[in-house]
Amino acid sequence: MKVLVCDSISPRAVERMRKACLEVDVQDKITPEELLQVIGNYDAMVVRSRTKVRKPVIDAAKKLKVVVRGGVGVDNIDVDYAQAKGVKIMNTPGASTHSVAELTIAYLFALARPIVQATASMREGQWEKAKFEGIEIQGKVLGIIGMGRIGLAVANRAAALGMIVLGYDSRTVGPAPFMQMVELDELIAKADFISLHIPLTESSHHLINAEMIGKMKDKVRIVDCARGGVIDEEALYEAIRAGKVAGAALDVFENEPLSDRKLFELPQVIGSPHIGASTHEATSRIGDEVADILIAVNQEGCS
């Protein structure tokens, strides 16, 4: 089986696949145009968040049997169209849980204590001690929208830090001793911090919009380490300028790579280029799970 690795995974995973007699080509900087030219030669492809697997790619992939997404979400893949063409879509949902949860907690601290802004000020030679007064997260209400693996991991960590954790999910979620499940309206009204951990779907697109922000507490702080597009970025921009939202930490954006940097003109906004799963440990786990999947799919074995 010929495998095209379009985004970076661990070298160990690539070596494991090759030892299992898979023919693996690593082209982790392949452009969309190059992908269309070569994908017809492959039985399987590995992607993370960078590579988009849309209808033109699927149509060009005449031999394709499986796409493995190294990570949680599959919104960069036209899943229904691929499956209609007989292409399996698989992912590694548990591999990056801890990394994304830890980044979320880091952002909670960075929104409470403006360490990013203070560092930038000091690099400019300033000593603006009075300017950077923060707040404690101890005793604050954290509202988590989306209680899958990552949401639960964030809730567990936040509760250990003394936060009051409220969770919302459209699905039924089992009881957890460190948090309380509530309806979305209640969560929005009570939360001092809101963290998003939901996939991008038709119903979740711009879930956090001007109307929803208007129902939030004044000086709320928002973290999105889930998917770009679940926040209306224009509405967020206006809410921060108006003082309704005290700060936002964003790892994901509606259009990636980020082209419109208007949000980052605001000092209350901090962010990163979709690095939630970018730790050494997560990369290793993702690679191992990708290798396990493709080795299992390859029924022929070594000839």
Question: What is the torsion angle, in degrees rounded to the nearest 10, for the CA atoms of residue 231, residue 161, residue 173 and residue 92?
Answer: 70
In the three-class reduction of DSSP (H, G, I as helix; E, B as strand; rest coil), residue 291 is classed as helix
Q: Is 212 helix (H, G, I), strand (E, B) or coil?
A: helix
Instruction: With CA atoms as reference, report the closest residue to 251 among 230, 267, 234, 282.
Output: 230
Beta strand pairing status for 88-91 and 66-69? Answer: parallel
Residue 293 in tokens: 């999947």
- Asked if 293 and 68 touch (Cβ cutoff 8 Å), the reply is yes
Give the number of other Cβ atoms within 10 Å of residue 140's Cβ.
Answer: 18
How many helices (H) and strands (E) would you count in the chain? 11, 12
CB 89 within 8 A of CB 53: no
- Catalytically annotated residues: 227, 256, 274
CB 98 within 8 A of CB 282: yes
What single-letter DSSP state applies at residue 178?
Answer: T
